[in-house]
Structure 1
């Protein structure tokens, strides 16, 4: 029975769309430990180098007629700066460097993951959870440093009827502590789902009868993933701005 099952598997269409998300050691085949250099480590390092290359090296000449790299960097700078200013107000502009770095890291990690044979680091909850927790802790500490105990007024909806305020306070507290969970899962889930679907369509490309349709579907999904890669970086960043606004102006 085992032989027949193996034969059926070899004769059929077998592909594993989730294999692309396996974390493996970069050197050797041993177990992955805390300090093991993995494919995730490699592509995160490449992402950091890409951010430095675009924002530092690409803008080093500061030409009046900008190069392509300088144009992209300036567009990204203006886009994020306006977002921070519009959402958080003038008080939030001082935190622009952190938010800009966060956006550039996520968007470039997403785009690099679209390169064939690359690894999408933002598809792993371990990566996005660290980014989300960094935002959560930064915003929370900042809220108490700036506002003191009055930061707790964020959970007290003073505009609601008095009888409902305790209930709403519990809901607000739960909602606040769920933020890093939703913040991280949203990004990782969307990136993982899109790449898995592309892999599934790529598996069907081996069948001659439906190969043209499969290639067409891959092309459409790839174009959609390019858009999703930017949108998810934008959503992560604008939610960070919203949370920062709550820390700067906690009063309802």
Structure 2
């Protein structure tokens, strides 16, 4: 957003604002209203629902859309079987939903809707969202672990073959490492998406301000910045896919620990 001084604030894109100021209601001293973050989460869910509906027609000769949806489902199914075994199939729907939601949210946040006067919002650039997804995944791991193994689940924190005198120390280290998982899981996605968007905004500021400063500045600074923006935008699409994959992969590995106590 351009300020009065002509500067562009790279952090303004992460600001959560009400869609219609003043419209909402109050609960427990908190004003509840529809925000841009909520709107983009709804758009993510709607886009994902349309994508899945279009690919679940079960035609005898599948079209490209159906092949694409089946490709995603087979990809996650193979991931769960590889990392957990046949028992992993029962957790595939959750990991698939997690992967697709993050993927669609990341991609939608990169859409060039600014040409239509809209401001894209990447919901995964907020630690609140990524943190909740990580906590849900971690909660599933705990529930599965204690449900299947009871208190024997704590053996996960004592690797086989650990010398007896080292068990207390190793147990504490492994437990702390386990408890850090939801923080690292949510933080990784949040940082990756936030950093890329900040960089793009800064480069956009270079392009706008150098062009306004004159033709010479536009050639020396604006054109290289614009070229770099194109390259980074392509890289951000790759990052959007990779981060969704990493989140799903780590979740499947954590569930594997709870199921098989590796």
Taking structure 1 as the reference length, what is the TM-score of the superposition? 0.90
State the SS of the aligned residue for 2:166. helix
* Alignment correspondent of 2:50: 53
* Alignment correspondent of 2:10: 17
**Residues 122-151 of structure 1, C-alpha deviation per residue, up to 9 Å, x if partnerless?**
000000111000001111011100111111
* Alignment correspondent of 1:5: none
**Are residues 1:42 and 2:54 paired?**
no
- Within the candidate set 65, 68, 71, 1:69 is matched to 65
- Within the candidate set 176, 183, 198, 1:181 is matched to 183
The equivalences for 1:93-104 within 5 A come to 93-104=89-100
The equivalences for 1:151-230 within 5 A come to 151-206=153-208, 207=210, 208-209=218-219, 210-230=221-241
State the SS of the aligned residue for 2:32. coil
**Conserved? CA contact 2:148–2:259, under 8 Å:** yes
Structure 2 gap segments, 5+ residues each: 113-118, 211-217
**Conserved? CA contact 1:110–1:229, under 8 Å:** yes
Count of residues in correspondence between the two structures: 240
**Residues 137-183 of structure 1, C-alpha deviation per residue, up to 9 Å, x if partnerless?**
11101110011111110111232222222111101111111111101
**Conserved? CA contact 2:23–2:33, under 8 Å:** no
Distance 2:228 2:15 in 1: 24
**Cα distance change on mapping 1:130 and 1:196 into 2, 3 Å:** same
State the SS of the aligned residue for 2:18. coil
Shift of 1:65: 3.5
**Conserved? CA contact 2:95–2:248, under 8 Å:** yes
Which piece of structure 1 moves more, 37-46 or 205-214? 205-214
- Within the candidate set 126, 141, 144, 2:143 is matched to 141
Which piece of structure 1 moves more, 106-115 or 157-166? 157-166
Distance 1:204 1:72 in 2: 39
**Conserved? CA contact 2:55–2:68, under 8 Å:** no
**Conserved? CA contact 2:56–2:69, under 8 Å:** no
**Residues 21-65 of structure 1, C-alpha deviation per residue, up to 9 Å, x if partnerless?**
00001111689946321011001011111111111x212422234
**Residues 50-98 of structure 1, C-alpha deviation per residue, up to 9 Å, x if partnerless?**
111111x212422234333222211111111101110011111111111
* Alignment correspondent of 1:131: 133
Structure 1 gap segments, 5+ residues each: 1-8
* Alignment correspondent of 2:88: 92
State the SS of the aligned residue for 1:205. helix
Aligned-CA RMSD value? 1.7
State the SS of the aligned residue for 1:158. coil
Taking structure 2 as the reference length, what is the TM-score of the superposition? 0.87
Distance 1:123 1:72 in 2: 27
